[in-house]
Amino acid sequence: MTTSPRLLPVAAIQQTCSPDKNTSLGTTERLVRQAAADGARLVVLQELHATLYFCQTEDTSVFNLAEPIPGPTSERLGKLAAELGIVLVGSIFERRMNGVYHNTAVVFETDGSIAGIYRKMHIPDDPGFYEKFYFTPGDATFNAGHSGFTPISTSVGRLGVLVCWDQWYPEAARLMALAGAELLIYPTAIGWDITDEADEQARQLEAWVTVQRGHSVANNLPVIAPNRIGTEPDPSGQSDGIRFWGNSFICGPQGEFLARADDSSETILATTLDLDRSESVRRIWPYLRDRRIDAYGDILKRVRD
């Protein structure tokens, strides 16, 4: 039996966050260093890992947290990637210009340079998740390394980077797969309304895991999904806050769990992906071959009449 030449050690970081950006990034750096020391060549961080999840309320002062790219946080993460010789996927509240802010994933190469960025495309607006107040959706087309649903090429492979709410949309995953992504990555910040009953919390968690595993199965691609942990209070005091449910996971191209965290522990979730497995799986489950693209025109309509 031959060994695949495309084995990729990966890690996803599950952590709590602090109101102080330096404290949060200090935790991130400590965990990334340990992941690299353990052999990871690709490390993925959760959504908005440098701050608390500030979208529980609408507050214009929060825009002071936003940074340009390049900027202080991207430079810090880039230096870390270069020092450790890893590809690193981080998350930044980006100030693109006056009045235009994005929820942006940034991919750093092993030399610390920015391989590309992905600006979150689907923006939620729900109780406790008022993201439309803060984030402009990303541009739909690829332009100078800034991608819509376009994979980011790196030394470890072509990364289909999406962000949180994007994970509920099969269109996003499929477009990444059709553009040649070799794995799907979903930095996430999702949790429970503390007042929800246990059965409802269980249904929400199971839905979150299942839909992403479904993207893996439907596209024959591995998925890396890091989520935060900890209870973060509502700054307005109008709710009991959010308990982030963790359960970060990595699965293979048939949706099989390769690693999964619990709902409360700081975790370096590590495994090794075989990037050649997608090819072998697609030979026996050729979903992309059998797509009826001649019959899908109505998918472009908001509602099919």
List the catalytic residues.
Answer: 47, 120, 164
Helices (H), the chain: 21-37, 72-84, 170-178, 198-219, 277-284
Q: Up-side HSE of residue 236: CA atoms within 13 Å toward CB? A: 13
Q: Up-side HSE of residue 94: CA atoms within 13 Å toward CB? A: 23
67 DSSP assignment: B
Instruction: Report the b/e string of 50-80 with b at 16+ CB within 10 A.
Output: bbbbbbbeeeeebeebbbebeeebbebbbeb
Tokens 């370096």: give the residue.
268
Query: Per the structure block, which two tokens stand in for 282?
Result: 């697609």
Distances (CA, A) of 23 to 19, 53, 252, 272: 8, 15, 33, 29
